Structure 1
């Protein structure tokens, strides 16, 4: 499970790059019950810096205008590190690409963004006054992260070397392959925070064959939340369906095409 005790290598933040900030805020507000708090606006009244999503007054994510030429709307996942500069050099040594060099965000912390050697994009956060999200693993918040990659062994080598993650494999039902579970270094399996799955490039149609990370958001009622996705202009790509030992889930796209998963976890 993800907790707000952000151990090194654990997910601690996420933000959405969207072509229309106001439309994205409206969509996720309807689907997940989020409030949007803007951090600024232009003279024309259009958000230029974006802002944060909140659930019951607690920060659950960030939202910003998609400005990178050719970039697709997507959620960016951040992992906690003690030294963003050292992590950046480790990324380079391991064959990754530095997309955004380490930079300070006022007193809140220091961040950097990368691509792994196969093209999967991710980011890191070195905490200052802000350790990460205020709310996780509750309805309407981040509960899990997943990587779809074209080479599971290469992904394990890269991320394992970078974050010292612990991995364990479990077979998927019906011989559908292997799902690799991820736990931060030195922690017990009850602190698992995500998984990775190898898929063919032909199956990664969303990114034209490039690996990608996506968030899983906890909800109380997966069917009701999935219905709100379609009502508000999004798309349900898979489900809702039951996954034994996991819960009921649906793979979704927001109206701009950013992927996320809704999960009503199984009762313990």
Structure 2
């Protein structure tokens, strides 16, 4: 109950500070704008798979960025202002604070994301008769899961750090790791394993697995499975091993949410405020 009270406070603060409106504007402009551009391109078929795969690159870049931006000041901002002592002076434990901050910030991301993709789906559906809403709704839920994972990562970073500057640096580093440097990591592992500095498709199974150890890579694997293009073409052929299944990819996304949040909550619980 205490965590839900803090979550409601977080949502109210987001309304007062225009955070919710800013996130809504970002999602609306980019997601709905991307849907409009999709309808202008004559080579698109309007099938569910075509629509989903069109949205994946934008969702992969935008959703993690928004999730981290919303989450990284959740706890450390209160510590910097001194208001955390007032909050903890009420009948709230430190775990309640982390849990409430997570719930409130997830709502701040979830509502604009769902509304923007609903508008985008309506725009596309009016133009293409072959567009199916149910599989697209599954894609939106997977995108929401990705957003929640990065909010949890941001809140975990916020709880684990002592200053907003350190939290911002850690959030930027996390985004750079999963979005910019993970491909280089795959190539580095490939060099160690094969002796070659370049990886060409189709990749061996282990390379796909390393790709899917990032939250965005796991998200793409889940989306491929959703739109019936989940069959991975392996170097040398053959069926995909069990560790490339959607269930493993789902566990990877959940781990990226749970582990940083647990570490952050542990550090915050033991921090000297």
When normalised by structure 1's length, the TM-score is: 0.27
Q: Which has the larger radius of gyration?
A: 2
When normalised by structure 2's length, the TM-score is: 0.26
Structure number with higher strand proportion? 1
Which fold has the larger relative contact order, with Cα–Cα distance below 8 Å and residues 6 or more apart in sequence? 2
